[in-house]
Structure 1
Amino acid sequence: MNDNDEETGRLEAAALWYGDLQAPDVDLATWDAFRVWERDPRNAAAFRQIEASVPIIDRSLRLRTAAADVTTVPAKPRRSRRTVGAALATAAAVLALGAALLLNLRAPELPSPLTYASDVGEQRSVMLIDGSVVTLNTDTAIAILYTSRERHVSLERGQAIFEVARTGVPFVVEAGASRTRAIGTAFEVYLKPSGVAITLLEGSVHVTASEEDSLPNSERLDPDERRGRRLAPGDRLSIAADGTQVLSQVDITTGPTWRQGIVQFDNVTLEEAAAELNRYSDTKIIVPDARLASERISGTFQADAPADFAANLVLMLPVTIEEIDSQILLVPSGPTQP
């Protein structure tokens, strides 16, 4: 096969992929297969040529349709996917040189992402232009960019629930070392300094490490982890900053408790509990003693009431409370457990 034949073949394949991905019922398996095909830079370039050619082809088709209406030409049978793909590929081959020249002369400017954020102690629900709803927990920020191929969300900090409208275009959330892809479902993503946790509330999502090859533990991941995981409702996948993954199950019958202003701790260290509560208030809980910070606690607490949390600790641990300005210091009142 010569270079021209190979290029034409790539354009035909790209056109068929373009047709498939525009279908309203496109599934995740199709998107996964497309991503594998697009990894070849030559295939990706061919797909971009098809995308660049579509507006020109579309205008041509509209002109033909208008002419057909004037001359009352009978409607033709609906064209098949392969016929449409072949037409796109043929037109793209003709337009490729011109499109490449235009792209080289001036690279298209990407639209600015839409940004949303919540303040400390605030919960905020936002309806996106595609009908999806995002609920931001305290001190959370996201950036959203819509393209023809995906609805892309970057969780820059914090915690959010995504209730995804089914449009046929994948909804992708990147956070830390994770990339979560969905079509129509509901899931929570929580970005922490130590890593990210994805919890599926309903439907199905596919989670992969967004930069697997650069993660310190990527060479130790098993094949399933390297390909990513498809979660079931109640699954929580935690991905540490070094790429380590832990899959667990949680109770989702009542939904995330933070939506009711409640935090629940199950055998976590006092340091972890304080860090979580500090997200919800400008009054910060400080535990300067390392041994006290390592004490483990469980319980349910009001998220925005750090003083009440500290008062409860007096009943659970040998601790004394000292309030200084907007800080609550927890210091040992007696010997802690070694």
Structure 2
Amino acid sequence: MSKKSTAQPGEPAPNPLLDEAISWCLRMHGEDADQHRAAFEAWLSLGGVHRQVYSEVSELYGFGEKLRGVDLDRTADQTQEPRHAFHGPRWKGPALTAALAIFMGIGVFYFEGKREAAPDRLARRALGAPGQLQTALGEIRTIRLDDGSMVTLDTDSLVTVEPGRSNRRLRLERGRIRLAVATASRPFVVAAGAGTITTLGSLFDIGLSRYQEVDMSFLRGTAELRTAGKWSALRPSNATRVAKGYRASYGPDGRTAIAKMARDELAATDWPSGLMSFDGVPLAQVLGHANRYGVVKIILADPALGQRRFYGTVRLNDTRRLAAVIAHALSLQLLEEGGTIRLSPT
């Protein structure tokens, strides 16, 4: 009868998925990474949990200098490829134990940092002029409104809460918000740019650019969209109904576009957590998101690097940390000078 394996005193509890993620992380940071990329992407495609664990391990690797002292020799046959389960090389014995210990030790700091960077969930108003809510650059904050609705302000955003007897009303002045509207008989009206969104209870994101362009993603419930401008008039008869799973946009002229949300757009709806997942997204797009949050900006020495694909779940409001993660994941050089981080080929 085979003996059931158990962790010895002082050893970390077995975690097969973490074991696999560590093994892939080391392989994909090795010199022969390109030879294993197809198999690696097949492993990532097994599910969101695989991508989440790998991205966390990859980030820890970037800051785990102690890993330089771990024996990276692995004993299993490297010719097998993962299909529906992981069949690649597995760490065994002391090397795996040491690696897990290092990762778990660094992870204490990492996850504590995540908690500190989480949105402010206190039911209080942000500092600002009377009736206004705002966030600073890199800040994400959630506030409970008087009617029980919750509004999450993205980085550098500003909203005005306007009084109204017949409805609940809010105006987006700058940036992006997520609004979880408390269900009630009185409609909730959000004004942004050349239009308004009216709902009795729903969940949606809405952003306003400096050019007065509005973009919305509807995550729950339905709402009515009305615009005013060259292409429409702000009246009940021109209301457009938008439902869960769709995005809508319009500009100053009032012309409206509605489309079903794509897979990558659905992934981008994680932003209130301070984290964003990228599943093979071009690096230029990743940096476009990150540079909205950071005082220190990340640039590419060679624009062609922007086409490199990045996998991972990362915090966007710490661009120094993000740049280090990207540099390790894509084997790039990192140089910070003059308030800018430059990534260049090795």
In the superposition, the TM-score normalised over structure 2's length comes to 0.51
Q: Say if 2:218 and 2:246, in contact at 8 Å, map to a contact too.
A: yes
One-letter identity of the residue aligned with 1:121: G
CA distance in 2 between partners of 1:202 and 1:296 (Å): 31
Equivalent residue for 2:141? 124
Aligned with residue 286 of structure 1, among 287, 299, 302: 299
One-letter identity of the residue aligned with 1:248: K
Aligned with residue 233 of structure 1, among 217, 226, 244: 244
CA distance in 1 between partners of 2:248 and 2:219 (Å): 12
Residues 262-317 of structure 1 deviation map (CA, whole Å, 9 limit, x = unaligned): 11346655444223112323222234654444666554322223234323434665
Q: How does 1:204-219 map to 2 (within 5 A)?
A: 204-208=222-226, 210-213=227-230
Do structure 1's residue 322 and structure 2's residue 306 form an aligned pair?
A: no
Residue 147 of structure 1: SS of its match in structure 2?
Answer: coil
Q: Say if 2:131 and 2:160, in contact at 8 Å, map to a contact too.
A: yes
Q: Say if 2:170 and 2:190, in contact at 8 Å, map to a contact too.
A: yes
Equivalent residue for 1:249? 261
Q: Which runs of 5+ in 1 are unaligned?
A: 1-111, 219-225
CA distance in 2 between partners of 1:269 and 1:240 (Å): 27
Equivalent residue for 2:221? 203
CA distance in 1 between partners of 2:334 and 2:279 (Å): 23
Equivalent residue for 1:147? 164
Q: Say if 1:239 and 1:246, in contact at 8 Å, map to a contact too.
A: no
Equivalent residue for 1:310? 323
CA distance in 1 between partners of 2:153 and 2:305 (Å): 32
Q: How does 1:26-45 map to 2 (within 5 A)?
A: none
> Greater share of helix residues, 1 or 2?
1
TM-superposed CA distance for 1:250, in Å, is 5.6
One-letter identity of the residue aligned with 1:309: L
TM-superposed CA distance for 1:135, in Å, is 1.6
Q: Say if 2:189 and 2:198, in contact at 8 Å, map to a contact too.
A: yes
TM-superposed CA distance for 1:113, in Å, is 6.8
Equivalent residue for 1:138? 155
TM-superposed CA distance for 1:116, in Å, is 0.4
CA distance in 1 between partners of 2:268 and 2:330 (Å): 30
CA gap of 1:295–1:228, structure 2 versus 1, over 3 A, is farther
One-letter identity of the residue aligned with 2:207: Y
TM-superposed CA distance for 1:133, in Å, is 1.8
Equivalent residue for 1:263? 276
Q: How does 1:10-29 map to 2 (within 5 A)?
A: none
CA distance in 1 between partners of 2:230 and 2:279 (Å): 33
CA distance in 2 between partners of 1:184 and 1:263 (Å): 26
Residues 34-58 of structure 1 deviation map (CA, whole Å, 9 limit, x = unaligned): xxxxxxxxxxxxxxxxxxxxxxxxx
CA gap of 1:238–1:130, structure 2 versus 1, over 3 A, is same
In the superposition, the TM-score normalised over structure 1's length comes to 0.52
CA gap of 1:259–1:186, structure 2 versus 1, over 3 A, is same
User: Aligned Cα RMSD in Å?
Assistant: 3.6
Residue 172 of structure 2: SS of its match in structure 1?
Answer: strand
Residues 205-224 of structure 1 deviation map (CA, whole Å, 9 limit, x = unaligned): 1123x33416xxx7xxxxxx
Q: Say if 1:236 and 1:250, in contact at 8 Å, map to a contact too.
A: no
Residue 173 of structure 2: SS of its match in structure 1?
Answer: strand
The count of aligned residue pairs is: 212
Q: Say if 1:118 and 1:136, in contact at 8 Å, map to a contact too.
A: yes
Residues 216-263 of structure 1 deviation map (CA, whole Å, 9 limit, x = unaligned): xx7xxxxxxx94532222222244667462412267999931232211
CA distance in 2 between partners of 1:246 and 1:269 (Å): 25
